[in-house]
């Protein structure tokens, strides 16, 4: 059954009949299915690696209104996989650059941009006006936010996520199957799962998963096929193999179960352990301050918690390499009488590292390199690459 009611359907113009002729030739889509696509309103949360191909294919398919949610600017590192952008879009808001590209692809559709950070305060208002929500985000707080908001609003959530060479895709629809919280009742500990910006990603992988999301959106709108409700597709692009797993609804789910206890949106940064008063107690040093201390011969030891393949891209002279996962068991190797400065790519994992060592009882002074080794490359040694 389609998510688009019959009373919203409108005729196609002569130009649209020509543009979408390959859809019209498919009996599973046909004229009525294309009318439903024209009448549909689809929101894409995130215009990055997943959102880029997703938006392009939905615009090409004739989805009548596409909403785009993002608040980032286009960076050079995006261009390896976010194919909706070009070099000339660098430093532009992603929503604006994506809207221009989509209008050039299909000037007959309507693009609604939401150049904002989706939060508990605005999510219900933003999502409410759309028929289908597609989650192209890359962080746990927003995934839980989108998942909960879709359940509360009764919207299907077309979901995908990627990491390095692996991806997964499903459709969360609490009316017919499980929701996001049924699968992931609680988030992983902060720092355990690095983002694509820290762990890397094969450039074509989000293209594959984004195209799968687009296919799922089209099926929901047209009302045919077998959507991935209650099923998850797992793909390993490096080995090029896929498996399908069954997803069951959790009757005790706090948001979509028989007796839900979560009836509104919460603070998702806090829920995912990313907002904690203890972070304010962790002192930091800037790249310039660290250089002055090192040049001055102070008792400072730099601890590089990046993985070996990361260190090969950017070697920090004099740093002791101790990968994040080894820190606690190797804490006795550190001198409590020396100031330790922890470094990673952007200064996020090093915060978690210091917290983990504190909880393990390490007594010495510890500092975080603010904004990580990328700040060192920008502010201290411009010959090094920001990666």
Tell me the CATH number for domain 6-271.
3.40.50.720
Res 192: pLDDT? 62
What pLDDT digit, counting tens, does each position of 52-84 carry? Answer: 999 999 999 999 999 999 999 999 989 999 999
- In words, the CATH class of domain 278-379 is alpha beta
What is the pLDDT, as a whole number, of residue 194? 64
Say what the pLDDT of residue 279 is.
47
Q: Please give the C-alpha separations between residue 119 and each of 172, 296, 384, 385, in angstroms, as whole numbers.
A: 20, 45, 36, 33
Question: What is the pLDDT at residue 193?
Answer: 65
d(CA 196, CA 228): 24
Q: Which residues of 169-197 are buried (b: 16+ CB within 10 A; e: fewer)?
A: bbbbbbeebbbbbbbeeebeebbeebbbe
Res. 105 pLDDT band, cuts 50 70 90: very high
Q: Model confidence at 278, in pLDDT bands (50, 70, 90)?
A: very low
pLDDT score at 197: 66
CB atoms within 10 A of CB 343: 25
Q: Does residue 243 have a pLDDT over 90?
A: yes
Q: Which DSSP letter does residue 228 get?
A: -
Mean pLDDT of 82-95: 96
Distance, in Å, from the CA atom of 259 to the CA atom of 253, rounded to the nearest integer, reads 8
Q: Per-residue confidence at 275, pLDDT binned at 50, 70, 90?
A: low
Tokens of 24: 């019209």
Can you list the pairs that 372-377 forms with residues at least 24 positions away whose Cβ atoms lie under 8 Å?
372/343, 372/344, 372/345, 372/346, 372/347, 372/348, 373/306, 373/314, 373/316, 373/343, 373/344, 373/345, 374/345, 374/346, 375/286, 375/287, 375/347, 376/287, 376/290, 376/291, 376/316, 376/343, 377/314
pLDDT for res 60? 98
CA dihedral (78, 346, 162, 253) positive or negative: negative
Cβ proximity of 199 and 163 under 8 Å: yes
Mean pLDDT of the chain: 92
What residue segments make up the domains of the chain, in order of their start? 6-271, 278-379
Task: Report the percent of the chain where pLDDT is more than 90.
Answer: 79
Contact yes or no for 106/62 (Cβ under 8 A):
yes
DSSP 8-state symbol, 164: B
How do beta strands 320-321 and 284-285 pair?
unpaired
Q: What is the DSSP string of 126-152?
A: HHHT-SEEEE---SHHHHHHHHHHHHH
Question: Percentages helix, strand, coil for the chain, rounded to the nearest 5?
Answer: 40, 20, 45
* 117-155 pLDDT per residue, tens: 999 999 999 999 999 999 999 889 999 999 999 999 999
Q: What is the pLDDT of residues 187-220, one digit of tens each?
A: 877 666 666 666 789 999 999 999 999 999 999 9
Question: If you average pLDDT over residues 336-353, what whole number do you get?
Answer: 92
Chain-centre distance for alpha carbon 161: 7
Mean pLDDT, residues 220-226: 95
Q: Is the Cβ–Cβ distance between 245 and 170 less than 8 Å?
A: no
d(CA 387, CA 381): 14
The pLDDT tens digits for 284-332 are 999 999 999 999 999 999 999 998 878 888 888 899 999 888 999 999 9
The predicted structure's pLDDT at residue 190: 66
Average pLDDT over residues 153-169: 96
Give me the active site residues, please.
Answer: 196, 344
Q: CA-CA distance, 196 to 21, in Å (whole number)?
A: 38
**Which is more confidently placed, 384 or 258?**
258
Q: What is the mean pLDDT of residues 87-104?
A: 96
Query: pTM score > 0.85 for this model?
Result: no
């Amino acid at each position: 059954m389609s998510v688009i009611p019959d009373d919203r359907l409108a005729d196609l113009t002569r130009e649209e009949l020509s543009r979408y002729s390959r859809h019209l030739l498919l009996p599973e889509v046909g004229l009525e299915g294309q009318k439903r696509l024209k009448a549909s309103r689809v929101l894409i949360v995130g215009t990055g690696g997943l959102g880029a191909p997703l938006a392009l294919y939905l615009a090409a398919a004739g989805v009548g209104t596409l909403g785009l949610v993002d608040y980032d600017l286009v960076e050079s590192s995006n261009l390896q996989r976010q194919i909706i952008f070009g070099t000339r879009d660098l430093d532009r808001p992603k929503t604006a650059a994506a809207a221009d590209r989509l209008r050039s692809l299909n000037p007959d559709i309507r693009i609604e941009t939401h150049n904002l950070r989706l939060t508990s305060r605005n999510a219900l208002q933003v999502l409410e006006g759309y028929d289908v929500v597609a989650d192209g985000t890359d962080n746990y707080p927003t995934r839980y936010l989108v998942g909960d908001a879709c359940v509360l609003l009764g919207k299907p959530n077309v979901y995908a996520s990627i990491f390095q060479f692996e991806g997964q895709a499903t459709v969360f629809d609490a009316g017919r199957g499980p929701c996001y919280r049924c699968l992931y009742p609680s988030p992983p500990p902060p720092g355990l799962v690095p983002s694509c910006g820290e762990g890397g990603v094969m450039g074509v992988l989000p293209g594959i998963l984004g195209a799968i999301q687009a296919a799922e959106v089209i099926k929901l709108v047209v009302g045919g096929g077998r959507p991935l409700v209650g099923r998850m597709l797992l793909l390993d692009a490096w080995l090029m193999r896929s498996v399908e797993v069954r997803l069951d609804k959790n009757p005790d789910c706090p948001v979509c179960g028989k007796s839900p206890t979560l009836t509104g949106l919460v603070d998702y940064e806090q829920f995912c352990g990313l907002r904690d008063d203890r972070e304010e107690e962790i002192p930091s040093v800037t790249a310039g301050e660290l250089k002055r201390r090192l040049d001055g011969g102070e008792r400072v030891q730099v601890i590089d918690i990046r993985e070996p393949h990361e260190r090969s891209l950017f070697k920090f002279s004099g740093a002791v390499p101790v990968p994040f996962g080894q820190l606690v068991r190797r804490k006795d190797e550190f001198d409590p009488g020396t100031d330790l400065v922890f470094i990673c790519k952007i200064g996020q994992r090093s915060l978690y590292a210091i917290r983990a060592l504190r909880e393990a009882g390490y007594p010495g002074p510890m500092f975080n390199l603010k904004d990580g080794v990328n700040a060192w490359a920008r502010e201290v040694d411009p010959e090094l690459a920001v990666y």
